[in-house]
Amino acid sequence: MNTPLSVVIGAGGTGGHIYPGLALADALRRLVPGAVVSFVGTERGLETRLIPGAGYRLHTVDMIPFDRSLGAKRFTLPAALLKSAGQCRAVLREQGAQVAVGMGGYPSAPVILGARLAGLPSLIHESNAVPGRANAFAARLTPHVALAFAAGGERLPAASRPELVGMPLTGPLAALDRQAERAEARRALGVPAGARLLLVNGGSLGAARLTEAAVGLAERWRERTDVRLLIKTGPDALDAARARLRATGGDRVAEAVAYLDRIDRTYAAADLVVCRAGSATVAELAAIGLPAVLVPYPHAPGDHQTHNARTLTEIGAGLLLRDQDTTAGSLDAVAGSLLDDPHRLRAMAGAAAAAGVGTHHRDAADRLAQKVIRLAGRTSLVPSC
């Protein structure tokens, strides 16, 4: 067969859907050289920056979110879905696609519906421990469902046949050995010898609650020489965070950044992370064995971040801290006590590996890619996982 493998992936909105989609795309190209992979998204999400930046074509469609913020506009959702599904069907035909994949987020549903209209096989990947609305709908249109976490299949339609494959991770994270790369990573980030590094990561766009608490913690720790803080604020909060750090003296121990361009290096250097509990973040922490204080976003649909977090907290790899309880004082008590207890940090770091929770995430991109390739009736040049 001379026709190249062609796959269209629906992924957008947040990094939690986009990065796993990019990991899948990379795996498809690695397993089937010459494969043509493109994405469907909207013009308002992070996909407009991340997907072209990774070297993939992005097709944009007119789609509105599957969430309660629509209010009265929810009545326009069926018409919007049909319109965007028609646009996706046109994209699939233009690309000569053999398979469509939905990674979650609002571009996922129209891609799967578009594939149904075009008579093409399709697959969805559910990244959370509680399915999102778009994937819960899309799961009614295809029997092929892959899960990042086993709990994600509990609320899907009975007719679906979910299979646990794990969370696709990008290459640097899938291959990261924290201990082997730790010394070089700490030097690159300027962490003094003997100091412990606390990473506060608010996710793709930052988290105001975490940034506020972390900046206050830096003020409390400003006289300490044994700790450092790296605070990811997101772009909108960066200037204010830096100004407050300078004003309070917190900049003696803390640095605020908008993005983490080398998250693998940052993870290798860190001793502990305080973060939201998005599915990609939880999978990354499990795979690399980084202890965490998890602060689920309280307004996540279905409270899915709390369910994600429990995959780590229930095995002793993380601690749960409620959003409303997250202050400079609570971080001082919780994160401070962990940083002062290296034995507990080592136990938390090893908990995910001991429970087998993180292992399957490292190879998940290849496993998911193999499923897609088989749906297309193809074989890869690399033996099946």
> Residue 118 in contact with residue 92, Cβ under 8 Å?
yes
pLDDT at 380: 66
199 and 317, same domain (yes or no) = yes
Is pLDDT larger for residue 384 or for residue 240?
240
Region 222-233: mean pLDDT is: 97
The reply to whether 366 falls in a domain is no
On the question of pLDDT at 303 being above 70, the answer is: yes
On the question of pLDDT at 328 being above 80, the answer is: yes
Q: What is the CATH number of the domain that holds 331?
A: 3.40.50.2000
Tokens of 107: 């571009």
> Residue 23 in contact with residue 365, Cβ under 8 Å?
yes
198 and 287, same domain (yes or no) = yes
Domain boundary among 122, 147, 164: 164
Query: What is each CA distance from 187 to 91, 108, 192, 194, 351, in whole angstroms?
Result: 46, 41, 8, 12, 27
The reply to whether 380 falls in a domain is no
98 and 17, same domain (yes or no) = yes
The reply to whether 378 falls in a domain is no
| Domain extent for 258 | 172-359
Q: How far is 5 from 13, CA to CA, in rounded Å?
A: 26
Q: How many domains would you assign to the chain?
A: 2
Global pTM value:
0.87
Helix (H, G, I), strand (E, B) or coil at 5: coil
pLDDT of 11-57, one tens digit each? 988 788 899 999 999 999 999 999 999 999 988 888 999 999 999 99
The reply to whether 245 falls in a domain is yes
CA 177, 183, 188, 192 dihedral sign is: positive
Q: How far is 380 from 20, CA to CA, in rounded Å?
A: 20
The reply to whether 253 falls in a domain is yes
Helix (H, G, I), strand (E, B) or coil at 48: helix
On the question of pLDDT at 231 being above 50, the answer is: yes
The reply to whether 370 falls in a domain is no
177 and 204, same domain (yes or no) = yes
For 382, list phi and psi in degrees, rounded to 5. -115, 135
The reply to whether 385 falls in a domain is no
Q: What is the mean pLDDT of the chain?
A: 90
Helix (H, G, I), strand (E, B) or coil at 256: strand
Give the length of the chain: 385
* Confidence label for 72 from pLDDT (cuts 50, 70 and 90): very low
244 and 262, same domain (yes or no) = yes
Domain boundary among 164, 180, 215: 164
CA 385, 171, 275, 340 dihedral sign is: positive
On the question of pLDDT at 66 being above 80, the answer is: no
The reply to whether 371 falls in a domain is no
